[in-house]
């Protein structure tokens, strides 16, 4: 089955066509208005897999999109107002162009296995129930692929794996036996690590204090778009950030990894993925140095070369895994259609 993978971002859209054996036949990073012109020259797919950021509590697996599902996805927009509309726009545009099944694959779905103790905020019960407030977690498609790949490299399915998705957005997940048991992002993608322009976790009292001194929309925009590395160093590019900003970034990353190791009950493997995770030997080395107490060490030559395994003299194996959300989406698309007898 040939699968067209549609990954809608905040300002661009990535299309990738995967053949039946998952070879990449076509790929393009385009603007949302260039979809029709791009697809006009591509081979026709048998199905389309869409990355959808939020699946709420009802979508825990990839699902074939029909009118009912489409309406339910729209209802979730208030939980992800920055991301869900982009996903839905991509879904609608491609569905209007191609008369093939569409499958929604969710970033939140992988984390629905997180136990209640890790998913629950200590806030009034009526808030949690009325507004479906819980720690959802994000980047699930990336964490799912990365942890599965590490399991293959380890040759075991019961490993305790910490996956670090480090890009413009960043999160760490604890995966035990292929199931997510905790992650650093929560109700929104703002919680957790320092990111390119997002603040990561801040004292909620600080947010309340600031909300008394500025409009809420201004505060929201600042935390989403003018914080993180940009707020610390005046640049969202880690390679250009000053030493003090990088130190804050590393501190939060190490803190996140250590907390995920505690949630996993130990650590067998640590994996780095995403643009920063794959390309910054410095981030990997500095994180490993701080995590020596957990048995983590990297080989300097292997780390500098960006090898797939960069384990040093350590009890924990360390890997660099290229991010392939497209493969995870294609897998989910084929699985959802197979359950309906579509293959």
- Which domains are assigned to the chain? 3-133+325-339 (3.30.420.40), 140-320 (3.30.420.40)
CB proximity list for 290: less than 8 A, separation 6 or greater = 250, 254
Q: Rounded CA gap, 88 and 206, in Å? A: 33
Q: Note the pTM of the prediction, 2 decimals.
A: 0.96
Cβ neighbours, 10 Å, residue 31? 10
pLDDT attached to residue 11: 58
Q: What is the dihedral of CA 187, 192, 195, 198, to 10 degrees?
A: 50
Tens of pLDDT, residue by residue over 111-123, are 999 999 999 999 9
Tens of pLDDT, residue by residue over 30-80, are 988 899 999 999 999 999 999 999 999 999 999 999 999 999 999 999 988
Is 329 in contact with 51 (CB distance < 8 Å)? yes
Q: Rounded CA gap, 303 and 197, in Å? A: 27
Q: Which residues of the chain have pLDDT under 70?
A: 10-11, 342-343
Cβ neighbours, 10 Å, residue 205? 8
pLDDT attached to residue 80: 86
Q: Which residues are known to be catalytic?
A: 107
């Amino acid at each position: 089955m040939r699968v067209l993978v549609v990954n809608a971002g905040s300002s661009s859209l990535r299309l990738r066509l995967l053949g039946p054996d998952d070879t990449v036949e076509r790929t393009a990073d385009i603007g949302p208005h260039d979809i029709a012109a791009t697809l006009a020259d591509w081979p026709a797919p048998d199905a389309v897999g869409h990355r959808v950021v939020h699946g709420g509590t009802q979508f825990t697996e990839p699902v074939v999109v029909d009118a009912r599902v489409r309406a339910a996805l729209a209802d979730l927009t208030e939980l992800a107002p920055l991301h869900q509309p982009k996903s839905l726009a991509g879904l609608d545009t491609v569905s209007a162009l191609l008369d093939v099944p569409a499958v929604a694959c969710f970033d939140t779905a992988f984390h629905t296995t997180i136990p209640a103790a890790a998913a629950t905020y200590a806030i009034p019960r009526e808030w949690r129930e009325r507004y479906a407030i819980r720690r959802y977690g994000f980047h699930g498609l990336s964490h799912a692929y990365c942890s599965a790949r590490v399991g293959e490299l380890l040759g075991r399915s019961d490993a305790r794996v910490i996956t670090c998705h480090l890009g413009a957005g960043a999160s760490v997940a604890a995966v035990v036996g292929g199931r997510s048991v905790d992650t650093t992002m929560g109700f929104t993608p703002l919680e957790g690590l320092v990111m390119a322009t997002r603040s990561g976790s801040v004292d909620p009292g600080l947010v309340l204090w600031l909300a008394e001194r500025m409009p809420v929309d201004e505060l929201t925009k600042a935390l989403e778009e003018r914080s993180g590395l940009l707020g610390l160093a005046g640049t969202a590019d880690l390679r250009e950030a000053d030493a003090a900003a990088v130190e804050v970034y590393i501190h939060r990353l190490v803190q996140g990894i250590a907390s995920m190791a505690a949630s996993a009950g130990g650590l067998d493997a640590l994996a780095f993925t995403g643009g920063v995770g794959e390309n910054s030997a410095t981030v990997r080395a500095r994180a490993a140095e701080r995590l020596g107490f957990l048995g983590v060490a990297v080989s300097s030559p292997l780390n500098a070369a960006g090898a797939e395994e960069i384990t040093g003299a350590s009890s924990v194996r360390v890997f660099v895994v290229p991010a392939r959300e497209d493969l995870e989406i294609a897998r989910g698309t084929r699985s959802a259609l197979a359950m309906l007898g579509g293959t």
